[in-house]
Structure 1
Amino acid sequence: MVLEHSPYQDPRTWKMTPAMIRARQPFVKKNLLGLSALLLVTGGIYVYTYRFLNRDNDFADVPIPPIDAAELEKLKKEYEEHKQQTSNK
């Protein structure tokens, strides 16, 4: 049967018996140390990857050409027209 009675669990509450707690006691520190090592490695990989992917220097070496005032005014006008069209929808 799937839910057979275990000698290390109380049959009424399904909690660990004192014998099971004593049997697991020598391994608690090693298990916590192993868990913390796994979490630190996983967290380190996550942080390293996140910082690597969020670098924003893809186009740092591409020079930006200067823009004259007339072209800037034209672009501002187009932007305002587009903004009004999208707000009317």
Structure 2
Amino acid sequence: MAFEPSRYQDPRTWKMTPAMIRARRPFFKKNLLGLGILVSVTGGIYVYTHRFLNRDNDFADVPIPPIDPKELEQLKKEYEQHKRDVAARDE
């Protein structure tokens, strides 16, 4: 049989027997401590990376030149044409 219950499991419910619970009890606190350390390190790396990548001062010193209204209108037309081309291609 593929799933034969061990002697540390109840054959009907597959739950741990009291003997198995007693055997695992000394390791419970150490396992929780290890879990806490792993979660803390992973969370710390995530927070550090998120803060590092989301800094807003990358282009703060680059001046943005003013744009001519005619040039702006031309850019809008090109953008709308591009959107129509992409929509037609996707259909």
TM-score for both structures, normalised by structure 1: 0.72
Q: CA deviation at 1:9?
A: 0.1
Identity %: 72
- Whole-angstrom distance in 1 between the partners of 2:2 and 2:49: 43
Count of aligned pairs = 79
- Whole-angstrom distance in 2 between the partners of 1:63 and 1:43: 37
- Whole-angstrom distance in 2 between the partners of 1:33 and 1:20: 21
In the alignment, structure 2 segments of 5+ residues that lack a partner are 85-91
List aligned pairs for 1:23-62, cutoff 5 A.
23-62=23-62
CA RMSD of aligned residues (A): 2.5
Divergent runs of 4+, >4 A = none
TM-score for both structures, normalised by structure 2: 0.70
- Whole-angstrom distance in 1 between the partners of 2:2 and 2:43: 37
In the alignment, structure 1 segments of 5+ residues that lack a partner are none
